[in-house]
């Protein structure tokens, strides 16, 4: 009878046929649940970072999580793997999605393993740990320190240790846990995929709306350029007739008067470049119907994708279309705007390599190097660059000497200054006939806008007719095109101006950010004689020690100033707040100390000890976090954010 019962045991029971007393201990089972739950939470945070880069500390631009997600190890290129072409070629599946789906599935599988472990689940976990070890090595080798990634991988390692040290296997559940893992993994992946598609669709709809506005602006610009060209032609003809009749256009007196009216005062809207708006090297005719200028970064993935689309179209229409390039490397080596974090470490050298090729090889040399740099995603080493130089026919030493010389650095910095003047927020920044392409991230946006422009058959013109507006004017036009939003309530505000003011100005800022200092001073000076304007300063210190929603610390003295101003306001009211506000802003960035603000509080008549306690109080911390959390809900990522009537302006 016993032998018959044994023969009737199924495969799952045969894996480990024991009594219920041999089940794993409750402590071990609960520990496994805790480890897997922690891994699930870590991967959910990473998924949130994919949908919203400002969602959690460490997931912002330039941070470890963001760098890991943007790297080749952070995504699987599904589009390139799809032979049917139904999936876009640039479509990628984030590794965070894989990790989240896996750990959620493993958590469910573990729930089903209370009575015992199966060999199949052990082998799945072992394979998962090999993947974790691979990513841990990559994280430290590439120095992309992502604490959420490490948290998930370390939990996975500890979970395997829990399995391997368990000697009480209990009754095996067979393939049920692994089957559940597979089903949950598939369902979670489908859910994440649907969410990703919806997010992409929403972004595309927004970009498409911007692109339609661009098309309208280009159409108006082409008509304006035609009118201007006609006026210049008629003026030139009239001048030629006058010269032929020996009739000077101006008298000596009028000429002298005009000369005396000249001023050396610098115009803030004056263009930083000389001559026409174009790059130093051009692909296509000098006089073209459509003139494209791209401000780009060789290590920017979006730049590479968009440049590839544009380059292909320009070559197909090279009789009517021209393309030129300006540089904006997001790298601290040549761009002072990126001193705090090096988003693209080799971007400056890539830009300088392109300029060196232009100096040594002329127009053809520049474009050959330009295409090679994008093919390499802007990265090269001491091994790959010499090989490329040899193929292109350059003398290695001469090229390196030129690339590292001051001339290439000056050229790149000149382009950076141009981009700042133009109000660049991100790369690529693209202009068609002098009009900035909005909605540049819509599908094939630049090519579609250029095709629309070409379809109008504009006259062939040079770049002297392209006159993009300065960044200051761009801020105004950007502001006018945006919808107003309802800003979060500020319960502890010390706003200047009447409650029923018609003009409402709100700024989220950091006291240590130089640009915000200038902005605040300009607003307070402007509002002095404006009885119908109201100005409210809201805290957003880019310092993780007092701001839980920031993704990084840029100014490690920020919290001192914000706590001091808020403490002064809570103790002494509006006047005390603004006195401390002005004092903090007057201090040099990075130099402010607690002793400084305490001395100022004492000079204002506030008790020093009480002021110190107030700075560290929960009320002050809550007021700062109220503002910071409100800023996060606006979905904006800039350090200084100014609203007028609920519309972001800078």
Residue spans per domain, the chain: 10-199, 270-470, 503-648
pLDDT of 347 > 80? The answer is yes
What is the per-residue pLDDT across 391-441, written as a single tens digit (0 to 9) for each?
999 999 999 999 999 999 999 999 999 998 888 878 999 999 999 998 888
Domain 503-648, CATH class in plain words: alpha beta
Highest mean pLDDT among 460-469, 535-544, 602-611 belongs to 602-611
Give Cβ neighbours of residue 295 (< 8 Å, ≥ 6 apart). 325, 326, 327, 328, 415, 418, 419, 422, 424, 427, 428, 429, 430
pLDDT of 169 > 80? The answer is no
Given this model, what pLDDT does residue 503 score?
85
Rounded to whole angstroms, how far apart are CA atoms 362 and 373?
Answer: 16
pLDDT of 266 > 70? The answer is no
Half-sphere exposure of 118 (CA within 13 A, CB side): 22
Q: Which CATH superfamily is domain 270-470 in?
A: Glutaredoxin (3.40.30.10)
Mean local confidence (pLDDT), 64-84: 68
Given this model, what pLDDT does residue 513 score?
80
Mean local confidence (pLDDT), 373-382: 92
Mean local confidence (pLDDT), 565-594: 93
On the question of a cis peptide bond just before residue 428, with omega within 30 degrees of 0, the verdict is yes
Given this model, what pLDDT does residue 249 score?
41
pLDDT of 541 > 50? The answer is yes
Give Cβ neighbours of residue 259 (< 8 Å, ≥ 6 apart). none
Highest mean pLDDT among 201-205, 625-629, 640-644 belongs to 625-629
Angle among Cα 389, 394, 397 to the nearest 5 degrees reads: 90
- DSSP assigned state of 185: H
pLDDT of 321 > 90? The answer is yes
Q: Could you tell me what percent of the chain has a pLDDT over 70? A: 81
- Top-confidence residue, 619 or 226: 619
Give the predicted TM-score (pTM) of the model. 0.61
C-alpha to C-alpha distances, 454 to 208, 307, 322, nearest whole angstrom:
19, 18, 12
User: Residue 535: beta bridge partners?
Assistant: 496, 505
Provide, for the chain, the percentages of residues in helix, strand and coil under a 3-state DSSP scheme, each rounded to the nearest 5. Answer: 55, 10, 35
Given this model, what pLDDT does residue 491 score?
79
Q: What is the mean pLDDT of the chain?
A: 83
Rounded to whole angstroms, how far apart are CA atoms 301 and 71?
Answer: 10
């Amino acid at each position: 009878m016993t032998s018959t019962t044994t023969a009737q045991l199924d495969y799952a029971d045969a894996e480990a046929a024991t009594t219920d007393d041999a089940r794993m201990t409750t402590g071990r089972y609960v520990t496994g649940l805790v480890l897997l739950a922690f891994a699930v939470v870590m991967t959910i945070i990473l998924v949130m970072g994919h949908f919203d880069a400002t969602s959690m500390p460490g997931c912002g631009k330039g941070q470890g999580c963001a760098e890991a997600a943007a790297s080749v190890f952070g995504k699987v290129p599904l589009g390139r793997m799809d032979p049917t072409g139904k999936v876009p070629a640039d479509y990628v599946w984030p590794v965070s999605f894989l990790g989240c789906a896996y750990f959620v599935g493993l958590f469910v599988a573990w729930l089903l393993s209370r009575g015992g472990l199966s060999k199949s689940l052990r082998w799945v976990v072992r394979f998962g740990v090999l993947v974790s070890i691979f990513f841990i090595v990559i994280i430290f080798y590439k120095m992309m320190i992502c604490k959420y990634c490490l948290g998930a991988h370390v939990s996975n390692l500890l979970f395997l240790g829990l399995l391997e040290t368990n000697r009480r296997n209990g009754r095996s559940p067979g393939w049920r846990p692994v089957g559940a893992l597979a089903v949950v993994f598939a369902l979670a992946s489908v859910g994440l995929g649907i969410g990703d598609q919806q997010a992409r669709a929403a972004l595309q709809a927004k970009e498409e709306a911007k692109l339609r506005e661009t098309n309208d602006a280009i159409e108006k610009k082409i008509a304006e350029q035609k009118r201007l060209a006609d006026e210049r032609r008629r003026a030139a003809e009239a001048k030629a007739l006058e010269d032929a009749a020996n009739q000077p256009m101006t008298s000596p007196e009028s000429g002298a008067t005009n000369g005396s009216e000249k001023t050396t005062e610098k115009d803030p809207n004056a263009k930083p470049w000389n001559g026409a708006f174009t790059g130093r090297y051009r692909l296509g005719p000098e006089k073209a119907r459509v003139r494209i200028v791209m401000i780009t970064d060789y290590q920017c993935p979006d730049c590479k994708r968009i440049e590839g689309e544009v380059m292909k179209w320009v070559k197909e229409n090279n009789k009517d279309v021209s393309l030129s390039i300006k540089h904006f490397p997001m790298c601290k080596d040549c761009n002072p705007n990126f001193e705090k974090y090096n988003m693209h470490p080799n971007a400056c050298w890539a830009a300088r390599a392109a300029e060196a090729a232009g100096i040594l090889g002329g127009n053809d040399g520049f474009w050959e190097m330009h295409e090679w740099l994008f093919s390499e995603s802007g990265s090269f080493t001491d091994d790959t660059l010499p090989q490329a130089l040899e193929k292109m026919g350059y003398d290695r030493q001469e090229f390196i000497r030129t690339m590292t010389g001051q001339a290439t650095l000056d050229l790149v910095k000149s382009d950076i200054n141009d981009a700042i003047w133009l109000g660049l927020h991100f790369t690529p920044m693209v202009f068609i006939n002098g009009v900035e392409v909005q909605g540049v991230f819509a599908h094939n946006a630049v090519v579609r806008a250029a095709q629309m422009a070409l379809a109008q058959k504009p006259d062939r013109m040079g770049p002297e007719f392209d006159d993009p507006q300065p960044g200051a004017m761009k801020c105004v036009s950007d502001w006018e095109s945006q919808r107003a939003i309802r800003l979060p309530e500020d319960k502890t505000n010390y706003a200047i101006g009447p409650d029923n003011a018609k003009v409402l100005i709100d700024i989220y800022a950091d006291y240590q950010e130089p640009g915000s200092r200038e902005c605040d001073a300009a607003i307070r000076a402007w509002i002095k004689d404006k009885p119908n304007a109201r100005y409210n300063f809201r805290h957003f210190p880019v310092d993780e020690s007092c701001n839980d929603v920031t993704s990084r610390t840029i100014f490690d003295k920020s919290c001192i100033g914000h706590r001091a101003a808020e403490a002064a306001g809570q103790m002494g009211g509006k006047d005390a707040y603004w006195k401390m506000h002005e004092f903090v802003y007057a201090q040099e960035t990075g130099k402010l100390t607690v002793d400084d603000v305490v001395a100022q509080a004492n000079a204002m008549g506030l008790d020093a000890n009480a002021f110190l306690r107030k700075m560290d109080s929960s009320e002050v911390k809550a007021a700062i976090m109220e503002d910071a959390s409100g800023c996060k809900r606006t979905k904006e990522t800039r350090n200084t954010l100014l609203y007028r009537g609920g519309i972001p302006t800078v």
